[in-house]
Amino acid sequence: MTITTPEVDHQPFDIERIRRDFPILKREIGDRQLVYLDNAATSQRPVQVLAEMTRFYRDHNANIHRGVHTLSVEATDLYEEARRKIARFVNARRAEEIIFTRNTTESINLVAHGWGRKFLEAGDEVVISEIEHHSNIVPWQMLRDERGIVLKYIPMQPDGTLDLEAARNIIGPKTKLLAITAMSNALGTIVPLDVLVPMAKEHGAKVLVDGAQSVPHLPVDVQALDVDFLAFSAHKMLGPTGMGALWARYEILDAMNPFMGGGDMILTVTMERSTWADVPAKFEAGTPNVGGAVGFGVAVDYLSALGMDAVRAHEVELTDYALRRLGDVPGVTIFGPPSAEERGGVISFELEGVHPHDVGQVLDTHGVAVRTGHHCAQPVMAALTVPATARASFYLYNTPEEVDRLAVALEEVARFFGGA
């Protein structure tokens, strides 16, 4: 089915109105109002998403594609409408190019198994980078060990950006796939896809983009990017957990092997052999997360109404303020690109003399939720020569006042552990 893009009446970016849509932000941790700064791990959900998912289970719950009764038809229509919404959101040519998965991790594994196992041979090269999430490292290492492909990586520079000169030497005639994040979950680095994608295409390589961090925060147009695969997750963009998507060019999906076998992904089954259903059903074996798809679609509606340019502008302004505010806290070292324009709303930092886990625990007593650890990016931590960092990550409902709360709490952490 082809995609038509309706006119969207963008709402003014009214932060107070937006925050009213997220009841969890009114919660108190101890006696402090919650400051939620762990959005790179998962975002919160607006009442619109929660209400529509509840309405689905209350009024329409049924299995899809398998029944002629009213509830099944309604559930099928809602599921496929969600697919169309998501296709429009990333500017896919066809709704069938959206494959529903559990998350970005499953989407990347689908490509590794369904495309990589079929089309990659021993000696073929897959290029990744040093700033990847483990989800875009481990599947290719597994395929390397199984098939004998060669795995290369683009190194990270001290400021958290990629070494593009090294990339020009690494991406070459044997490169069959560039699998690259659009935005680092650990550092917020925005990767220059406009530079790297042409390098890969020059040698006829396919390009997979890990969009887990970029799709929720930046305008994304798969046709303009000229990539072949895009993986992303609902739960990082106001939708439910356990729901993700893989976009890929239809002709590539059509040529790929299924990832899983079972019900609903077949055309025929005999005791001797099976044949596959058309795309996208070929990749969606078993009963899907229909309610999750409905929530995913409503989340996309919410973001579309705000406009992704407005979301990005808000986060640039907030991140710029946070870089300056946290930079004034004694003992804080910030990792990653120096300017807000070069990064998403992610700031990884360390506090001199205090382990990141201790930082996170004390911040929690102030009602401030941040992430601590290696952020599923151990090669990044190794390159920074730190065991872990604390990470504050922002989204469309965060405010400068919350950044102030974080900075004041960090000052108290420093005093607490410094004995001042």
The tokens of 275 are what? 């044949």
Do strands 266-269 and 274-276 pair parallel, antiparallel, or not at all (unpaired)? antiparallel
376 catalytic per annotation: yes
Q: CA 29 to CA 37: how far, in whole Å?
A: 14
Alpha-helical regions (H) of 21-69: 47-55
Helix H or strand E segment including 207: strand 206-210
Catalytic residue among 29, 71, 252, 376: 376
Q: Across-strand partners of 108?
A: none
Q: CA 59 to CA 74: how far, in whole Å?
A: 9
Q: CA 25 to CA 205: how far, in whole Å?
A: 45
Which residues 6+ apart lie within 8 Å of 14 measured at CB? none
Torsion of CA 116, 118, 124, 126, to 10 degrees: -10
SS3 state of residue 36: strand
CA atoms within 13 A on the CB side of 78: 27
User: Omega of the bond prior to 387 within 30 degrees of 0, cis?
Assistant: no
Active-site residue set:
376
